[in-house]
Amino acid sequence: MLQTSLLITFIISSVLSLIYAMMWHKHFDVHFTLIFVFLPISILGTYMLSVSSNLEEALLANRILYLGPCFGVPFLSLMIFYLCRVNVNRVIKAILLLMNSAIYASVLLPPGTAFSIYDSCSFEIKDGTGNLIKDYGQMHKLFIIMLIVYAVMCLCVLTYAFFRKKEASRMTILLLFVLEILSTGSYFARRLFDMPIEPTPFVYVLGQLIILFIVYRIGLYDVNDSGIDSLVERGNTGFISFDYKLRYLGSNETAKKFWPEIESLRVDRSVEEFPGFKDTAVKWIHRFVHDESKNEYHFEKDGKNYQVDVNYLYDGRRRRGYQFFITDDTADQEYIKLISRYNDELNEEVEEKTRHIVKMHDNLILSMATMVESRDNSTGGHIRRTSTCVKLLIDEMKKDNVPELTDEFCKNVIKAAPMHDLGKIAVDDAVLRKPGKFTPEEFEKMKKHAPEGAKIVHEILKDTDDESFRVIAENVAHYHHERWDGSGYPSGLKGEQIPLEARIMAIADVYDALVSKRVYKERMSFEKADSIIMEGMGKHFDKGLEKYYVAARPHLEDYYRESGE
C-alpha cells in the first residue's frame, strides 16, 4: 500500500513538473525550475527505498532521496528571497550551495567512513517495505543545523516582506509561509513522533501545487514581461532584433506585415548585405550608437506611416544587440499634419492681421507727423524727404558693413524718421509759424519740441512689443538736434553719447532744411548746402559719418532734382 501511494505520488509530482515546463517563461527565476527537477527525483528515491531488497539498493535510493532536502531546501529558500524582493549576493549564493554540496557529499560516502553522514547502516524489510536502519554521525547534526538555519532565515524574510515590502504580494507571502512550515515541519515530525509513514513526499507534491499557483500569478506581477506579452499578443507592435555585428536574429509576424522586405533577411546574416536596408535599419543603428537620443525614425509603406524606436536588445540585464519596435503611426501623423496645417493657416491669418495692424499704426503715426508738419512754416514734404535722406545714408553705411547696422536697426531708423518732429505739436503757433529769426525766448520754447517729441513717442509706443523700435524712435525725436561738439540741445550730449540713429537723423534733417524752400527763404544750391554740411563735420555732425554722406551726396541731389522740391 505504501509503495503504491509513493508511486502515485511520484507520478503526480512528475505531471506537475510537466505542467510547470509548459508554463515556463525565460524570465522565471531559475530556482523555480530546479525545485521542479529535484523534488520528483527525491520522491522517486523514497519509492526506490520502499522497494529495495538489500542494503546496497537501499543506500542508492537513500542517496537519491537526499537530493530533496540537501538541494531542494536551499533552492526553496532562494526562491523565497526572490519572491520577497530580497536580493542575495552571488557570493553568498555560491557559499550556501557549496555547504549543501558538502553535506550531500557526506551522504554519498559509505557508512562508517570519515565525514560520512552515517556511522553505520543496516537493512530490513518490514511489512513488505524496505527500510534503512541508520546510526547517524556528526555530519547529520550539521545537516539538521542547516535545515533549522534555512527555516529561520526564510521565516524572518517572509515576516519582514509581509510588513515592509509593498512590492511583494501578501497572498504569495502567506502561501510561502505555509510551504516553509510544512516542508520543515514534515521532516522533523517523522523523527520526533516516530510516524510509520514518511510524510515528506506528500508535502513535496503539495509544495509543487503551491509553487505552481505562485508561478501562475507571478507573471501578472511582472509588469515588464506582462506588458511585452500583451504587446505581442495584440499584434500591433513589430519586433526586429540584431546582434552587435548587425546580424539578423529574427522578427515577429507583425514586423513582417508592416515591413514585407524583412522576409528577404536571413538569420545570422548581416543586414548590411541587403541593399534595401542600408538607408534604413543600418543607418538608424549607426546613428543610435553615435547618439542614443536619436532613437526614433519613420518610414512610409503602402500609404501608411510607421514609427521605429531603436533600443538595445537585452538578455536579462546584458546588452546583446539592437532591437526595433515598429508601430503603425499613420493616425498620429495624419493628426499632426492636420494640426500643422491648421497652425500654418492660423499663423498666416495672425500675420496678416498683424501686418494690417502695423500698417494702421504706421499710417496713424505718419498722419500725426503730417498734421504736425502742416502747422510748420515749411512748404511741406519734410518728413517724407528726410526719411528718404536717412535711407540713402544708411544704404551707403550698409555697403561698408558697419557693425551696428543690423537689418533690424536700419529698418527701425527709417521707420522712425517721420517721428522726429512730433514734439512740435506742443510748440505755440506764434513761435512755430514765425517767418523770421527767433528771439532767445522763442528759441528756448522751440527747443522744447525735442524732449516733448520723445514723451509723445513714448506714450504712443509704450505698449508695443517691438521694444527696440520704441527706443530708436524716442532717441531720434529726442536727440536729433544734439551736436557732435556738445553745443546742441536739449541735453548737450557730446560725441558718441549721442545715439547713432540721432546722428544720422541730424544730417538728413539739416540737409533737407538747406536745400528745401521755406516761406522765409529760398532753397539753397547743392554746392552751398554741401559746403555747410562738410564744414559741420566734426562740429555739428559725426565726423565718422562724413564718408557715407559724401558717397550718398549724388543720390541725394538726384532725389531732390527729381522730386522738384
In this prediction, residue 223 has a pLDDT band, given cuts at 50, 70 and 90, of very low
Q: Which CATH number fits domain 349-563: 3.30.800.10, 2.160.10.10, 1.10.3210.10, 2.60.40.730?
A: 1.10.3210.10
Backbone φ, ψ for residue 245 (5° rounding): -90, 15
What average pLDDT is seen over the chain?
A: 83
What are the residue boundaries of the structural domains of the chain, listed by start? 2-221, 235-328, 349-563
- Per residue in 490-506, pLDDT (tens digit) is 999 999 999 999 999 99
Helix (H, G, I), strand (E, B) or coil at 499: coil
Give the architecture-level CATH label for domain 2-221: Up-down Bundle (1.20)
- Per residue in 414-462, pLDDT (tens digit) is 888 888 888 887 777 767 667 667 778 887 888 888 898 889 888 888 8
Q: Is CATH 3.30.200.20 correct for 235-328?
A: no
DSSP percent split of the chain into helix, strand, coil, nearest 5: 65, 10, 20
- Per residue in 118-143, pLDDT (tens digit) is 889 999 888 788 888 889 888 988 98
Identify which of 21, 11, 63, 58 has the alpha carbon closest to the alpha carbon of residue 42.
Answer: 63
Checking if the pLDDT of 308 tops 80, the result is yes
